[in-house]
Each structure stands twice: as structure tokens, then as C-alpha cells.
Chain A
Amino acid sequence: MARAVPSSSNSFLLILSLLGLMGCARPAPDLPAPFMPASTPQMDAQARLDRCATLKSEIAVLRDEIRLVEEVIAGDRHEDQVAGYFAAVLFPPAMLLIDQKRVQKNALDDRQARIDLKLAEQHALQCP
């Protein structure tokens, strides 16, 4: 005869499932501190323009990398969701085995932090 699962175990499984579900969405990275008002840059005009161009291209590269990582996450999302639904219905602890893409999500946050540093430098240099 099958034994009923105690209610405390049910609650535990429910909490475990919710924790697994909560891990899926990644919040937007925090905003940087407000940039200081730009003062006249102590730099040769040409050197400043060169640095601005470099910053612009570096930011573009980082944004491309973000887009690529997001595509990877989005590409796997359907499979992860299907696996999540089955795990939730059949055996909730199995949800812990589903790849939450933490490495990729950390990579996104890292890229954004680097972009913020470059944006702050652009602001300080008063890049056009």
C-alpha cells in the first residue's frame, strides 16, 4: 500500500520547486553611480578623439558579446522550460539538475559592468 507523503515533505518540495523556478529569470544589472559632471578633459584633442573612438568600438564589441550570450540562453530556454515542467510534475527535486545558465548570466553581468566603466570614461572625456 502506498504511504501518503507527509505534508512537511510536500512543503519542502514546493519550496525547492519555487527556488528552482525563481532562479530562471535574471534581473537587470544595477545602474552605476551617477556620473560626475564632466570637466574640461586634460588631454590633447586628437588623443581624446582617438580614445573616444576606442571606447566606442570596445562598447560595441561588449554589446555584441552580450547579444551572443543572450541568444544562447534564449535558444536553450524552450528545452529548459519543457524539462522544468516535467520535473515539476513528476519529480520536483530534478529541477535542481536543470542548467540555470549561471555561467552565461554571470558573463552578462560582467560585460555590463565593463560597459559601465567605459561609459563613465566617455562621460568624463565628453566624447561626441
Chain B
Amino acid sequence: MNTISKIAIVTISAASLAGCATWSSGSVKPAPGAQAASAGTPAASQNRSRRQTTQKQKIDPAAVAAITVTENDITDRPYDVIGDVKVTVNKTTIFNKDPTHEQVDDQLREEAAKVGANAVILVRYGTVGIGLMSWGSLDGQGRAVKFK
């Protein structure tokens, strides 16, 4: 393969990757305190079964958009803690813009929707920087809760 062909392949690959500005990953782990407090209760088993099924079913975008994401606690409504949600948003190529807090919030909403949460509270963000898998990586996490 000559040099021009190699350059063409690299250019085409970069151009196609540049179409997707970011890619992201996320996870939800049950909060330790929440497990102890609600294990065995009907609500807890409901949450568990919901978690298993929502991963397969398609999530309604309106339901995702309705999820509250806040850096604070919610004190005016009682809630059950479902778990801790952690997401990472990465920019695809060096030429894309750095990920933003809003993109992290959107990803938190999606992960929270999968476990049937109404809100993500105590949200905190990392700082954008070069990660092992990306030229621009931003971390965020929060606590998924369901209103009683």
C-alpha cells in the first residue's frame, strides 16, 4: 500500500469519526445504604425487577427529559434511593469540542431512566482532560432517586 492510500484511509477514518462528536458510557450501582435500608421491601424488589426489564425495553424520550438533575439534595419530597449513577462522556476525535456538563446531565438522565428514577441528586462533575480512551473526557455522577 503506497503512502497516498494510507493517508486517504486515515483521512476518511478521521472524517467519519468526526461525525460523532462524543461517545459515552454509564453505570448504576445500588447505593450501599439504600440496599441495607430497603432490601426485602416490596419497593426494593420492584426496583430490582424494573432494572432488569428496562435495560431491554426502549426508554421513552419524554420520560428521560422529565428526570430532574440537580447538584443539590431534594428536601421538599421524600424519596427512595435507587443507586449511584456514574457516566463518562468522551469526545470522539481531537478535533471535536470538549464534553460539557449538559452532555453529562443528559447521560445521567438516560442511565437514571433505565432504573426508573425520577431524579438524580447530588450531581458532581470531574474536570475535562485527556483520558486513556479519549482526547477529552468528562466524568459525572449522581444519586438516582424515586419519589415516594
Contact = CB atoms under 8 A, between A and B. Distances in A.
A92 to B, nearest CB: 14
Contacts of B146: none
Interface residues of A, number: 36
A122 to B, nearest CB: 6
B129 A77 contact: yes
B134 to A, nearest CB: 8
A77 to B, nearest CB: 7
9 contacts: A26-B139, A27-B126, A31-B143, A63-B71, A77-B128, A81-B130, A122-B73, A123-B75, A126-B75
Interface in A102-125: 105, 108, 112, 116, 119, 122-123
Interface of A: 18, 21-35, 38, 59, 63, 70, 73-74, 77, 81, 84, 101, 105, 108, 112, 116, 119, 122-123, 126-128
A94 B135 CA distance: 19
Contacts of B138: 25
Contact of B122 (A31, A74, A128): A31
A32 B143 CA distance: 9
Interface of B: 31-34, 37, 71-73, 75-76, 81, 84, 86, 98, 122, 124-132, 137-143
Residue from B75, B127, B130, B141 having most chain A Cβ neighbours under 10 A: B127
A74 B101 CA distance: 13
Given A34-B34, A123-B73, A126-B75, A21 B132 contact: yes
A58 to B, nearest CB: 13
Contacts of A21: 130-132
Given A35-B73, A123-B73, A28 B129 contact: no
B147 to A, nearest CB: 15
